[in-house]
Amino acid sequence: MTELSLAFALQTPADLHAIQKLEERAFGPGRFAKTAYRLREGVAPELSLSTIARIGGMLVGACTLTRIAVGGAPALLLGPLTVEEPFRARGVGEALAQRSLEAAKAAGHALVLLVGDPPFYERLGFVRASWGQFVFPGPVDPGRILFYDLQPGAGEARRGLVTSG
Ligand SMILES: CC(C)(COP(=O)(O)OP(=O)(O)OC[C@H]1O[C@@H](n2cnc3c(N)ncnc32)[C@H](O)[C@@H]1OP(=O)(O)O)[C@@H](O)C(=O)NCCC(=O)NCCS
C-alpha cells in the first residue's frame, strides 16, 4: 500500500467549509460562546497567514490567524488550532502553528495573542501574559492568555483592550 504523505498549505476560501466541520467535531457548539470566537465573529481569517494540513488530499488540521487590535495597535489572534483526532500527537499541530507564525513574521506583524493551554503553547515559544495586561471583551481564564513576539519585546510593551481588527 502507498504511504499517504502529509502536506502543508495556506488556507484558501475553498477550504473554509471543511475547516468549519473540523472545528465543529473538535469543539462542538460550545465554541460559539467563547470570547475568542466573539473576536473572530464577522472578521475574515487572514488566509495568507492561516495554514492547513492534508493527508492524501484530506484536510486533517488547520491553524487560523485573525487580525485583532491590542491597546489600539494591530496584532493577530491565533486559533482555532485543530487537528483531526486520529492524526494527533504526530507533530501536525505544532507544525501548523509554526508555519503560521513564520508567515506572520515574514509579513511584518509584531505580536500574536491566544487563549489556550499553556503547556502546549509554551513549547512553541508563547509566554503567559501578566495579570491584567490584556483585557478581553468577555470572560477569559487569565492563566490561559499567552502571547508570542514576532518582533523582540512586542508583547511586553503592549497592554490594553483586545478588540476585533
Ligand atoms: C491541541 C492540538 C491542536 C494539538 O495537535 P497535535 O497535532 O496533537 O499536536 P502535536 O503532535 O504537535 O503535539 C503533541 C504534543 O502536545 C501535547 N498536547 C496536545 N494537546 C495538549 C494540550 N491541550 N495541553 C497540553 N499539551 C498538549 C501532547 O501531549 C503531545 O506531547 P508530547 O509530544 O510530549 O507527547 C490537538 O490536540 C487538537 O486539535 N485538540 C482539540 C482542539 C484544541 O484543543 N485546540 C487547541 C485550542 S485552540
pTM metric for this prediction = 0.95
pLDDT tens readout for residues 36-77: 999 999 999 999 999 999 999 899 999 999 999 999 999 999
For the record, the C-alpha cell of 163 comes out as 478588540
Answer for the pair 31, 127: CB distance below 8 angstroms, yes or no. no
Confirm whether 64 is domain-assigned: yes
For the record, the C-alpha cell of 81 comes out as 488550532
pLDDT at 1 over 60: no
pLDDT tens readout for residues 91-128: 999 999 999 999 999 999 999 999 999 999 999 999 99
Confirm whether 1 is domain-assigned: no
Distance of CA 82 to the CA centre of its chain: 9
Close Cβ partners of 18 (under 8 Å, ≥ 6 residues apart) = 59
Query: How many separate domains does the chain show?
Result: 1
Give yes or no for residue 82 CB within 6 A of ligand 1: yes
Give yes or no for residue 83 CB within 6 A of ligand 1: yes
Give yes or no for residue 62 CB within 6 A of ligand 1: no
CATH of the domain at 127: 3.40.630.30
Q: Whose CA is nearest to atom 17 of ligand 1?
A: 120
For ligand 1, pick from 66, 81, 88, 94 the residue to mutate: most ligand atoms within 8 Å of CB.
88
Confirm whether 40 is domain-assigned: yes
For residue 73, how far is its CA from the centre of ligand 1 (angstroms)? 30
What letter does residue 152 receive in the DSSP assignment? T
Strand partners, 102: none
Distance of CA 26 to the CA centre of its chain: 15
For ligand 1, pick from 60, 83, 112, 123 the residue to mutate: most ligand atoms within 8 Å of CB.
83
The boundaries of the domain holding residue 48 are 6-164
For the record, the C-alpha cell of 42 comes out as 464577522
Q: Is 107 helix (H, G, I), strand (E, B) or coil?
A: coil
Query: How many degrees, rounded to 5, is the angle at CA 42 between CA 41 and CA 44?
Result: 100
Confirm whether 50 is domain-assigned: yes
